[in-house]
Amino acid sequence: MPLKMPHNPLLIGVYPGTFDPVTFGHMDIISRALPLLDKLVIGVAENAGKGPLFSLEERIEILKTEIKSLPNPEEKEISILGFNNLLVQFAETQKARVLVRGLRPVSDFEYEFQMAGTNRKLAPHIETLFLMASEPYQLIASRFVKDVARLGGELSSFVSPEVGIRVREKYN
């Protein structure tokens, strides 16, 4: 018996993350997800337990600035919102039918596979769409960007100049 899917005229996707800080890898996934969806909601997880470098408000502000660097951002329907509940609950409030997840080589697969299965149990009407990180961005992780910055290393291969400045300010 097929599942009865809720009718939704637009294909809305949620790309969740902590984005602490937003990297070229995040922006790669965002730019590649946009043509597949009618609307993309970037869900910035509060994640206080991770001890983020930037506040939720700062991460949203930085993402709003970074989105402007995409080609023709005004032609895309993009929202950037914070959330602090279950991802599928947040997705349902946004009327999303797709969760967009970026995958780096093997390191992400097991965790993402388990999360997708859990989300599927909680909300069977929401699909998970995995996008492999483009080759130049496969090894970028926000936690490494913070370590490099904290130890005085060069950030230009990982984040935009504006994000690099913001990260360095936090460590100075």
Q: Does 50 belong to an annotated binding site?
A: yes
Our answer to whether residue 50 is catalytic in this structure is yes
Q: Does 70 belong to an annotated binding site?
A: no
Q: Does 87 belong to an annotated binding site?
A: yes
- Tokens representing 170 are 């936090």
17: β partners = 44
Annotated active-site residue in 32, 76, 95, 104: 104
DSSP state of 97: S
Our answer to whether residue 125 is catalytic in this structure is no
Our answer to whether residue 160 is catalytic in this structure is no
Return the beta strands (E) in 4-103 as ranges: 12-17, 39-45, 78-83, 98-103
Q: Does 104 belong to an annotated binding site?
A: yes
Q: Does 137 belong to an annotated binding site?
A: yes
- Tokens representing 160 are 């935009």
- Tokens representing 22 are 């937003």
Q: Does 79 belong to an annotated binding site?
A: no
Phi–psi pair at 95, nearest 5 degrees: 60, 30
Annotated active-site residue in 59, 97, 142, 146: 142
Report the amino acid identity of residue 8.
Answer: N
Q: Does 133 belong to an annotated binding site?
A: no
What distance in Å separates the CA atoms of residue 110 and residue 88, rounded to the nearest whole number?
19
Q: Does 120 belong to an annotated binding site?
A: no
For the annotated binding site for ATP, the residues are 18-19, 26, 102-104, 112, 137-143
Catalytic residues: 26, 50, 104, 142
For the annotated binding site for substrate, the residues are 18, 50, 87, 101
